[in-house]
Structure 1
């Protein structure tokens, strides 16, 4: 009876290759640019045939969309946790969203870069990505709606208020992930800075006749 032939390298069947590729991409992006990511290189790392990754992702842009989905889901979980811990006050809940945004960027910079990569880099029409992004943004919109309904935030288009908050926190997150703010790129220090900046932003979102101080220093 002949002995079974050993599989040649490159014919290994991975148990969950799709998820393994997403995980490998996130690891690779910790040290390399999005532009340099390669499906074939990831396949070699995972020990599968050169064509195997393309059975799950026809292009690199599709893989990056899946990476972004993973990021938005993790970000949503972090936001949900911090919003719940903030209690019932809409302002505290909104600031928890802002703080979570910055902390996620600092703690998972590779995922953050892909989530907000230039549109040409990621397959933006992927249904999973559209859904994950919308679900992540809905937490912010819900907190804004609660604040406006309670009379704690100024009236107006909530999308405009969301843009003010998002652009401020995104700018801070990018500065931190690019190492532009020195020691503040550590999570504990980043959280303090996020709390300060979000408080100042809140000052501008409060109803004009009743501006209550929001930029006080919070003890760690």
Structure 2
């Protein structure tokens, strides 16, 4: 749920105020249904839920408006929640939830470079500690007579992901430290093309 909430708040923050159908269309270009396990049909529900909780402001287009014709923008509480969730996803390693870091990557540009570097250094330490503990956790699984033999492979696939993330985090940290990408307070390193802006500003009819 925290990943879904971060993605919804983050995409609204980029395009606000924006119609629900625009936000859904944008998230689907990110393939969130594949890596974040978000059902495309639930995006409208998620937006309305965030509005109900005071994190988004619903801007009604008029009486009888359709779900896709409601536009959204962040409230003050929504802005605070966005940064809380972003920092939680960035600073905390959870090998069973790789979607959290994937979502954080979508919005790292809204943090300053020094914080991103500090968080990546913290992730490296966490992943190194996991690597040190892994042989002993694996031995415990193998020696437990009440655990089926195949369970150790479930543990091994998770540790393989952790090792891969450690290697990537080290190299990503080096790229950021070397000046790659743009972060808050820095000139942007990418701008959408006029065609992309024109496509975004087109408001199609929402699905029936």
Q: TM-score if structure 1 supplies the norm length?
A: 0.24
Structure number with higher strand proportion: 2
In our comparison, the structure showing a higher alpha carbon Rg is 1
Identify the structure with bigger relative contact order (alpha carbons < 8 Å, sequence gap 6+).
Answer: 2
